[in-house]
Amino acid sequence: MQELDERKRKILNAIIRNYLDTGEPVGSRTISKYSDLNLSSATIRNEMSDLEELGYILQPHTSAGRIPSDKGYRFYVDNLIVEKDREVTEMKEFMIEHTERVEQVLQQMAKALAANTNYTAMITAPSYQRNKVKFLQLSQVDEEQLLAVIVTEGNLVKNKMISTREALDNETLLKLNILLNSSLNGLSADQINLATIARLKEQAGIHSNIVSDVLDALAGAFQEDEELEVYTSGTTNILKYPELSDSQKASELLNAFEEKKQLVSLVNEALSSGEQTGIQVYIGDESPIQNMKDCSVVTATYQIGEGMQGTIGIIGPKRMDYENVMDNLKTLKSQLDLVFQKNKGE
């Protein structure tokens, strides 16, 4: 049995769509004229009264129109949006030649997304944790400094300086390089366990302390960035929506965007949520970030084979254009998959 009959659904749909457009409470008369139901405003009023009782819409104050409640939005997102199977288009012009520079691609993407939707876009670099090491090299930069360079499957490059007590001779360096490469190649960060490390150290002999340093550096390189690598764009777009732009809320939100750490919880939530291929919608209080209780957040997860994945998110007012946003995310997601696929070098 359905809680809402056909007519109620139509009316709810009309209310929400109208509210998405205008941001103003919508009255019975508007619906009566706007929709194709051919009902008088009085009838609509009765239905609206029912819908309110059921919790789908609410009145900001007596004798104002109605606005959708969180439950209303939820119903809309789940049931009323027509899935468009839009082909991958647009945004192609934003695709970049220099796919080597991951940060730039991502920043660019975020920008395009923000511009396209008029909301705030965020996008995280693919998680390195599960990414596999493909190439590793130690070089003597000067007397007291080694440089470790690590290249992973997706052609992501990390580097780290290591201070040493004294310079190593060429031969030792070569040996270490071979050792490291042969031992670590193909492993992901969370696959490098104590056993591997012990074996590695043993083989390194008197240079085991250097191996230690390298591993530390490696762990550090993988981890340190994890926090920072969130790209945002269009943060100021929220100022365009009166319901978010009062000093108090705007400030909190913008802060959350600046302190990218806060966004990480969003990402984690998205990554851990069951349906990994799909698109996640958080309405109001559903969001894992408290500051965003007046917003809606839509996230998508993109993948680069082998469990390496990142998150794209759009943050906007609750009355965001969910259809458009979800569409955009979907196409971007597939594009990202493509880019990294191609880049993966086959």
By the rule CB under 7 A, 42 interacts with DNA: yes
Compute the distance between CA of residue 130 and CA of residue 158 in angstroms, rounded to an integer. 15
Compute the distance between CA of residue 6 and CA of residue 13 in angstroms, rounded to an integer. 11
Q: Is residue 89 within 8 Å of 95, Cβ to Cβ?
A: no
Q: Which is nearer to its own copies, 12 or 304 (CB)?
A: 304
Q: Is residue 305 within 8 Å of 60, Cβ to Cβ?
A: no
In whole angstroms, how close is the CB of 274 to its own copies at the nearest point?
34
* 66, 160, 318, 319: residue in contact with DNA (rule CB under 7 A): 66
Q: Quick one: how far is CA 83 from the chain centroid?
A: 21
Of the listed pieces 79-87, 95-103, 192-200, 324-332, which binds its own copies according to CB under 8 A? 95-103
Closest CA to 23 of 243, 246, 234: 243
Burial class (CB in 10 A: 0-12, 13-18, 19+), 81: middle
* 95, 115, 151, 168: residue in contact with its own copies (rule CB under 8 A): 151
Please list every residue from 101 through 120 that binds its own copies, using CB under 8 A.
101, 103-104, 107
By the rule CB under 7 A, 17 interacts with DNA: no
Which residues, in sequence order, are bridge partners of residue 157? 151
By the rule CB under 7 A, 28 interacts with DNA: yes
Q: Which of its own copies, DNA, none lies near 273, with the C-beta cut-off 5 to 8 A by kind?
A: none
- Which string of x and - marks every residue 231-250 that binds its own copies (by CB under 8 A)? --xxxx--x-----x-x--x
Residue type, 7: R
Q: Is residue 298 within 8 Å of 279, Cβ to Cβ?
A: yes
Of the listed pieces 121-129, 158-166, 265-273, 294-302, which binds its own copies according to CB under 8 A? 158-166
Beta strands in 219-318 (DSSP E): 230-233, 279-283, 295-303, 309-317
* 4, 95, 149, 271: residue in contact with its own copies (rule CB under 8 A): 149
Measure CA of the first residue to CA of the last residue in the chain; give whole Å: 52
* 88, 161, 187, 219: residue in contact with its own copies (rule CB under 8 A): 161
Binding residues for its own copies, rule: CB under 8 A, are 98, 100-101, 103-104, 107, 134-135, 137, 139, 141-142, 144-145, 147, 149, 151, 155, 157, 159-161, 220, 224, 228, 233-236, 239, 245, 247, 250-251, 254-255, 258, 345
